[in-house]
Structure 1
Amino acid sequence: MKLSTSIRKIFALALIGVSALAQSCTDYFLAIEPIESVSDNVVIVDEATAETAILGVYNQLQDRLYYGGDGFAATAYLSGGDHIWVGTLNYYNAFPSHTYRPDNTLLDNVWSQIFTVINGANNVIEKVESLSGESISEEKRNLFVGEAYFIRALAYFDLGRAWGNVPVVLEPTRAPNDFSGIKQSNQKDVFQQVLQDLDKAESLLPETLDRNRVTKKTVYALKARVHLYNEDWEEAVTYSTHIIQDSSYELVTWPTILSNLNTRESIFELAFSAVDQSSHFGSWSSIDYRNQFAPGLEIYAYLQDATEAGDRTRLIEDNSSAAIRNYFVQKLYWRATGENPTYVLRLGEQYLIRAEASLKKLNPDAEQALADINAVRARANASLYHEFLSNEELVEAIEKERRLEFPLEPHRWFDLVRTKRAGEVLGVTNNNLWLFPIPFNDLEVDDDLVQNPGYN
């Protein structure tokens, strides 16, 4: 059930709904028997129920309204100017035109879903940490709590970059009046909390490799991204380098990415199956039917320059006909049985993070930036840049490369906002629109919430 109520009501009604959360995620992760109905005070009582609970949080992370399909990701795809809405729900069409309002249904649902994930993580953190040594091993305690800290960090990072000013709640909520008086934190403070959570996760998680669950390596990758947004250039270089130099990861070819799961490119990839399907495949238009959203003509044309795009021309296919013009379909989420991957973090981004941070740090390193851009382009069989590029030209090249590299991943809108380029590139000159409005339903019932500037 998707809730469109206040944060506190969301929290109160989302007390680790183990039955619904566990059944779909355990198909992939572990064959744990689902718990049908457990009250909040006993839901996590030992190692088995602790693992069921954290898997439930993963499952909420890959819900269609968050990373699983047409929710949070759709707000970014459609706001970034490269994709069009061809469905029937008008509240999606507000994003290409940047006419979203506080009563937008999609924003309300996405906000609710992300806070559901946060409350799930808060429950795991509190309850697993308090389990006795007889009921759970220290290794598993650290693993599950570390995973919860990471997921909470990711959720608050996404709230911070989408809404800017959000309430930060770090304990599970059991009643609607819990945490009355909590005011919104500004984006800078939200990102600071994200880094604190990532520090905690890093201290608890193992230095192992898992492309579908969180480890210390996953923390490094997200830290690199957060530091980029914070303009902490040296730290962004440090953490992206941790991943780039790790032999577990490799820039694989685009045909490999498009035809496989869990390649060496993946740092954190959400896993789906034929019975636990991704909503991405069914949300995008396909060669069989025109669905909710689709690549636009401009991004299709942008990727057709093989010199610049290389193998990335494969990402979008022209399915136009005499009856339907400009009918373009994506190929990243193509798996017909719905088990396509969803990339939260992958290696190509780490190279481009390091390239940008290398150029913008106090002592710019253009040579490193050029090498990193060219590594991504070489993997795609695109033409390489040469040393005569100025630093300004390299900055432009990185923006262009991110557009070529992530046309089907939710980066472009947030890239243009964080670099203050959304006005020049997209014509969104009212920078109040660079943050989404706080949902009306929450404002109505929560006196502690204040609307973002520019929205009635």
Structure 2
Amino acid sequence: MKMNKFLYTYKVLTLVLICTVFTSCSEDFTDRPPEDQISLDNYYTSNAQVESATNGMYSRTWFQFNNKFFYAVAEVGSGNMYTNSSDVNAMRNFSINGSDGELANGWRSLWANVGQANSIINFLSDRVSGDIDPEILDNTIGEAYFMRATAYFYLVRLWGDVPIIENNLDFVDNPIINKNRIEDIYQLIESDYQKATELLYDKVRTANYSTNKRVSKGSAKAMLAKVYLYEKKYTEARQMAEQVINSNEFKLLGGDQLPAKSFGDLFTYPNNDNEESIFALEWITDGNYGSANNCNTQFGISNALVTTSNASYGGVFAPSQDVLDLYEAGDVRRKSTIMLPGDEYPNIKVLLDGATTPAVGFTVPAAEDIGGQGAGAAIKKYCIGIVNGDQTGSVDAWAMMENNTYIMRYADLLLIHAEAIMAGGGSTSDAAALASFNAVRTRAGLAAVTNITFDELFTERRRELCFEGDYWFDLGRLPRAQAIAIMGAQNRGNMFTAEYFTPDESDFYLPYPDNDVAKNPLLLEPPVPYTFE
């Protein structure tokens, strides 16, 4: 039986070498190959080889998810970002359909993560020699469980019912597969994160950032706390969050423990893998398309007056009109999140006034000169400027860079802790909830409070995590009528023309890609219960 599985594995992994996400693929998502082309055909004979098995799952498997799709859905859809670029603007007015190219890219990327994780979970143990350190093998498999859980956490929040695939080989000969219920998918996610907490290393994040790159038991517990919150399992969410808080593994940059840093430092290249990072995508300019981060170009300013990236274009995404007055006076997060006319950024290298030689430092021009889709403002978060030595790291042939993308950071966990204590109530003055909430608030330069309402906490999450892909999912946690009212009141136009669009209940889950529906019509059928072994 094991030999037959290996033969099937060879069949699937041969396909990996032939067809990747960057070429035209005709296979369905059940056997879609890992995007990093990691092969398990050969035995692993060293600890370093085993550790490298998950390298691509920190970057390349997520590329088409992060490149445009994530922001086109989670930020444009939520009303945080504005764009009128035809390939990414469908969620601005809730008109996305199954033929959308970026929809297909995001779906494909998430299934690539599932497929890669499944390969490691099911086969890596049988592919190592007797000399491999068992702890290293366990940690690598724990990373795979973590990544599969994270991919499914996005799949279930974006599409709702999707198929549960724990071993892609089960569907090689028959890729027509039922969807499974949302509650079953959450059961898998919980189980995977729990297994990750058992297998991953314990860590304490330190100022030696090179040791902070990979996920840990604390990372898995933090993500599990977030999952519990989405399921309204408030007691479990609080308990898990407090385990992470009490471990002292993570710290806020600019908080009491790291006062020499700041919120703005989170989004600079030298602070990749900092003490606040719970899980981040680790981009690298290795010469291959899809290994590095495109946000600097997608978010930057690019016109005759100012260019903030090495590309000849920029500003595919911009702040929405709805977030321009999101921040209170004195909130240091605003300038590190949104560029407004007159803002000064002395440390960013830019090309000014059509010059041929970049200069360090610039003042944001007048609203009509910013570009950025006519929004009158630009996105600062993840925009680090033209390549500038150790301040930005290197840049590849597509103007992509190596600054990390956060999937979760400690500030999110602290706000989850406060909300879990609130437990669905309208307000709290609980000391533990206030400690977590105020840690985030005072780091932003704002006064501590003695009571918080749910609406205040919800707004604080939007301010803290703006442009990081959380607000769409936060809105999805609200009662539908409340979320619809919030979104319907948002100005989703540009600085010249106000526009308002109101979603309906069906808009909170995305359509399945047409090509995958054609290959697997069961995607349009009701979900079935999943049988866990």
* TM-score interval, smaller chain: 0.7 to 0.9
Q: Which residue of 2 is the match for residue 31 of structure 1?
A: none
SS in 2 for 1:152: helix
Amino acid at match of 2:158: A
Write the deviation string for residues 259-293 of structure 1: whole angstroms up to 9, x where unpaired.
42222211122223454531111221335154311
User: Among 179, 189, 192, which residue is 1:184 paired with?
Assistant: 179
Structure 2 CA distance for partners of 1:17 and 1:247, relative to 1, 3 Å: closer
- Output the CA distance in 2 between the equivalents of 1:175 and 1:236: 35
Residue 211 in 1 paired to residue 206 in 2? Answer: no
CA contact 2:98–2:514 (8 Å) conserved in 1: yes
- Output the CA distance in 2 between the equivalents of 1:375 and 1:163: 34
Structure 2 CA distance for partners of 1:261 and 1:16, relative to 1, 3 Å: closer
User: Among 148, 153, 156, which residue is 2:149 paired with?
Assistant: 153
TM-score by length of 2: 0.73
User: Among 246, 258, 263, which residue is 1:254 paired with?
Assistant: 263
Q: Which residue of 1 is the match for residue 382 of structure 2?
A: 333
- Output the CA distance in 2 between the equivalents of 1:171 and 1:221: 26
Structure 2 CA distance for partners of 1:451 and 1:43, relative to 1, 3 Å: farther
Q: Which residue of 2 is the match for residue 293 of structure 1?
A: 317
The Cα of 1:15 is off from its aligned counterpart by 5.3
SS in 2 for 1:373: helix
Residue 415 in 1 paired to residue 479 in 2? Answer: no
CA contact 2:414–2:437 (8 Å) conserved in 1: yes
Structure-to-structure mapping, 1:220-369, within 5 angstroms: 220-252=221-253, 253-259=262-268, 260-275=271-286, 276-286=291-301, 287-288=306-307, 290-303=314-327, 305-307=328-330, 309-318=331-340, 319=364, 320-323=366-369, 324=371, 326-336=375-385, 337=387, 338-360=401-423, 366-367=429-430, 368-369=432-433
SS in 1 for 2:173: coil
Structure 2 CA distance for partners of 1:347 and 1:385, relative to 1, 3 Å: same
- Output the CA distance in 1 between the equivalents of 2:427 and 2:319: 35
CA contact 1:258–1:331 (8 Å) conserved in 2: no
Structure-to-structure mapping, 1:122-137, within 5 angstroms: 122-131=118-127, 134=130, 136-137=132-133
The Cα of 1:423 is off from its aligned counterpart by 0.6
Q: Which residue of 1 is the match for residue 460 of structure 2?
A: 401
CA contact 1:163–1:435 (8 Å) conserved in 2: yes
The Cα of 1:45 is off from its aligned counterpart by 4.1
SS in 1 for 2:144: helix
Structure 2 CA distance for partners of 1:451 and 1:405, relative to 1, 3 Å: farther
More helix by share: 1
Structure 2 CA distance for partners of 1:44 and 1:112, relative to 1, 3 Å: farther
Q: Which residue of 2 is the match for residue 24 of structure 1?
A: none
Q: Which residue of 2 is the match for residue 385 of structure 1?
A: 449
CA contact 1:163–1:438 (8 Å) conserved in 2: yes
CA contact 2:65–2:110 (8 Å) conserved in 1: yes
RMSD over aligned Cα, in angstroms?
2.7
CA contact 2:30–2:165 (8 Å) conserved in 1: no
Amino acid at match of 1:76: A
TM-score by length of 1: 0.84
> Which segment drifts farther, 214-223 or 335-344?
335-344
CA contact 1:358–1:364 (8 Å) conserved in 2: no
CA contact 1:44–1:50 (8 Å) conserved in 2: no
User: Among 513, 516, 520, which residue is 1:439 paired with?
Assistant: 513
Amino acid at match of 1:347: Y
- Output the CA distance in 2 between the equivalents of 1:178 and 1:14: 16
Number of equivalences: 420
Structure 2 CA distance for partners of 1:292 and 1:447, relative to 1, 3 Å: same
- Output the CA distance in 1 between the equivalents of 2:376 and 2:61: 31
The Cα of 1:442 is off from its aligned counterpart by 0.8
CA contact 1:60–1:117 (8 Å) conserved in 2: no
SS in 2 for 1:173: helix
- Output the CA distance in 2 between the equivalents of 1:62 and 1:274: 15
- Output the CA distance in 2 between the equivalents of 1:442 and 1:273: 31
User: In terms of Rg, which structure is larger?
Assistant: 2
Amino acid at match of 1:405: E
Q: Which residue of 1 is the match for residue 361 of structure 2?
A: none
CA contact 2:250–2:275 (8 Å) conserved in 1: yes
Q: Which residue of 2 is the match for residue 32 of structure 1?
A: none
The Cα of 1:328 is off from its aligned counterpart by 1.7
SS in 2 for 1:66: helix
Structure 2 CA distance for partners of 1:322 and 1:414, relative to 1, 3 Å: closer
CA contact 1:438–1:452 (8 Å) conserved in 2: no
Structure 2 CA distance for partners of 1:175 and 1:240, relative to 1, 3 Å: closer
Structure 2 CA distance for partners of 1:148 and 1:202, relative to 1, 3 Å: same
The Cα of 1:221 is off from its aligned counterpart by 0.8
- Output the CA distance in 2 between the equivalents of 1:173 and 1:317: 49
SS in 2 for 1:167: coil
Q: Which residue of 2 is the match for residue 30 of structure 1?
A: none
CA contact 1:183–1:448 (8 Å) conserved in 2: yes
- Output the CA distance in 2 between the equivalents of 1:107 and 1:452: 21
User: Among 133, 136, 146, which residue is 1:140 paired with?
Assistant: 136
> Which segment drifts farther, 422-431 or 116-125?
422-431
Q: Which residue of 1 is the match for residue 68 of structure 2?
A: 70
Write the deviation string for residues 227-267 of structure 1: whole angstroms up to 9, x where unpaired.
01010001111111122223232222213324422222111
Identity of aligned residues (%): 26
Write the deviation string for residues 172-225 of structure 1: whole angstroms up to 9, x where unpaired.
338743454x31112221111100111111111111245321211110110011
Structure 2 CA distance for partners of 1:347 and 1:85, relative to 1, 3 Å: same
> Which segment drifts farther, 51-60 or 372-381?
51-60
Structure 2 CA distance for partners of 1:119 and 1:178, relative to 1, 3 Å: farther
The Cα of 1:71 is off from its aligned counterpart by 2.2
- Output the CA distance in 1 between the equivalents of 2:100 and 2:34: 26
